[in-house]
Amino acid sequence: MIKRLLSMTAAVFMILTLAVGCSQNSEEMSESDEDIQEITLCESWSFESGFSTIVTPENNTNYALSFYLANFYETLVNYEAGRIVPGLAESWSVSEDGLVYTFNLREDVKFSDGADFNAAVVKKNLAMRPDLLGDYKAGFEMISLFKEAEIIDEHVIAVHLTSPYYGTLQEFAKPMPLGMMSPNAFNEDGTLSDKLLTHSLGTGPYMSAGQSAENMYTFVRNPYYSREKPEVDRFNVRVIPDNDAKALALRNNEIDMIFGASKISHDGFREFSEDRRYTGKVSAEKVITRFLGFNVSKEPFNDKQVRLAVNHAIDKESIAANLFYGLETKADNLLSRSLPYCDLELEPYAYNMEKARQLLEAAGWIDADGDGIREKGGQELAGEILYKSGMAVNHDLALTIASSLKEVGMEIRVTDLDMLAWHVEVQGGNYTIAHMKTYGIPFDPYLTISHMGSEPLIANKLAQGFVHVQDGNSIIKGVTGMVDEQEIQQQYDFILNEIHQNVSFVPISYIKELVVFNGDKIADYRFHGLPSQFDAAGIKLR
């Protein structure tokens, strides 16, 4: 039972870190091949699990899809520069008690299979989400609180919640799991149709044309998309697992673009950016916070003075400038001050090795035998950093931090685990230090804060930040259901200050999204409102 719970919870975070009448193939395009404006990019994973916006280990393990959903599926509202703006809903209103969200939907919108978009389809989509996500809905607060969808008119729908949730609109902006799918995406019993294995059934500007070659997937225009047409007619995604091979493919003109900070090294990005044949761009948005999380129940990090010493012993400026080549910026807070409710003045823990040593000395950690490692009561000042394998930068960061901590007398091992194993170990509390990331926009700060609760324990890594607060679980749960903006801000001020004072986390850097492309073919790329979503409509061709 415990193993099942850990695996289920791990899958929730993998999802969060991740989301037919017309034959969908390139032959449908009216233009001749010579007239088609086409680009090719690359991805580490295939799309063999299909094109559902609802991703769980039971129905879809397609990690790649989460980066591309916005091309095929649209949401009721969109997130842009910290604001919620119209999407498939032209306007909306919220009841005073925060329990009812009423959306006025766009008219004359069709899905890529020709089905009409209307309130009945939205109701079907929303009604199916809780059952299809099953236990994994715990990762999505709004879906967990969903009560019913009421059709007011053909293009007006009211969404009822069992309890208010101030992050509801932000969740509605996330394509996974709330991108609207055609009614033909569902079987009569409410399960997902097998059509989704080969078809994308959304209202977005593009749709799947299937696998066009070995390790190559092609996406073409949605013939029913009636709004402003993007410049790119068709884009291909070539599966190239290795990042060095991705860079080589771009140099050999086998692909035109590498999208995503996870698919190119920081030094590789710099090299391309310095070559006049290529253009590298960095998103304006701080997408995610990279941080270290302590298990405050395990020695020696149950000692606040030790955690504080670690904060002072890490040179974040140097890491950002050298290891990340200035592409990530130093983080002083777990949640960027640019996020809603997070603009709070907190005194950062400045890099100061001497202060770190003094804190350890005062706490009784002494190097009595001169071996460079401090001891206290016969116990060495030691620990381990767990990090996810597959990215060289994670390994380099862990080694850099371990080296810095060695200078103040800590013996820190570094251990890499695959994604699932990492989640299982961290959720099970089997760690002393772990390299982590926040959920990113639009989920931050809402899910990061709500998951600091310990009952139910959704995220062990985040709950560590608030276990020291009396009635902390009630406080976290209380802010989730608040509707008064002033009250929410007051609670955030308290919560963020407590997190900072308890030093359960070491914010390292703010991650921005990256893209590099062939400048001879592509003139520019405009990042999506959710920068981690590749947006073919954001491409401007030469």
Residue 183: count of CB within 10 angstroms of its CB: 17
| pLDDT surpasses 60 at 233 | yes
What is the per-residue pLDDT across 256-278, written as a single tens digit (0 to 9) for each? Answer: 999 999 899 899 999 999 999 99
Does residue 449 or residue 14 have the better pLDDT? 449
What is the per-residue pLDDT across 367-397, written as a single tens digit (0 to 9) for each? 999 999 999 999 999 999 999 987 778 999 9
3-class SS of residue 328: coil
For the domain bounded by 288-511, which CATH number is listed?
A: 3.10.105.10
Q: How far apart are CA 7 and CA 57, in angstroms?
A: 10
CA proximity to 444, closest of 259, 266, 283, 285: 285
Please check whether residue 290 is in contact with residue 266, taking contact to mean a CB–CB distance below 8 angstroms: no
For the segment 400-425, the average pLDDT, to the nearest whole number, is 95
Cα–Cα distance measured from residue 472 to residue 494, given in angstroms and rounded to the nearest whole number: 11
d(CA 509, CA 521): 33
What is the 3-state secondary structure of 163-225? Answer: CCCCCHHHHHCCHHHHCCCCHHHECCCCCECHHHHCCCCCCCCEEEEEEEECCEEEEEECCCC
Kindly state the tokens that stand for 255.
């692909």
Average pLDDT, the chain: 91
pLDDT in tens, 290-319: 999 999 999 999 999 999 999 999 999 999
pLDDT above 60: residue 85:
yes
pLDDT number for residue 32: 55
What is the spatial distance between Cα 3 and Cα 9, in angstroms, rounded to a whole number?
10
Q: Are 196 and 50 in contact (CB under 8 A)?
A: yes
* pLDDT, average across residues 421-448: 93
Domain 2-19+31-261+515-541 sits in CATH at 3.40.190.10
The pLDDT assigned to 63 comes to 73
Q: Mean pLDDT over residues 126-131, rounded?
A: 94
What is the structure's pLDDT at 59? 61
Provide the pairing of β-strand 156-161 with 100-105.
antiparallel
On the question of pLDDT at 94 being above 70, the answer is: yes
What's the whole-model pTM score?
0.86
What span, in angstroms and rounded, lies between the C-alpha atoms of 45 and 63?
7
Tally of CB atoms within 10 A around 45 = 16
Sequence ranges of the domains in the chain: 2-19+31-261+515-541, 288-511
Say if CB 397 and CB 323 are below 8 A apart: yes
> Percentage of residues in the chain with pLDDT exceeding 70?
93
Q: Where are the alpha helices (DSSP H) in 256-352?
A: 266-273, 304-313, 316-318
Per-position DSSP letters for 132-167, written without gaps between them: HHGGGGGG-HHHHHEEEEEEEETTEEEEEESS--TT
Average pLDDT over residues 273-284: 96
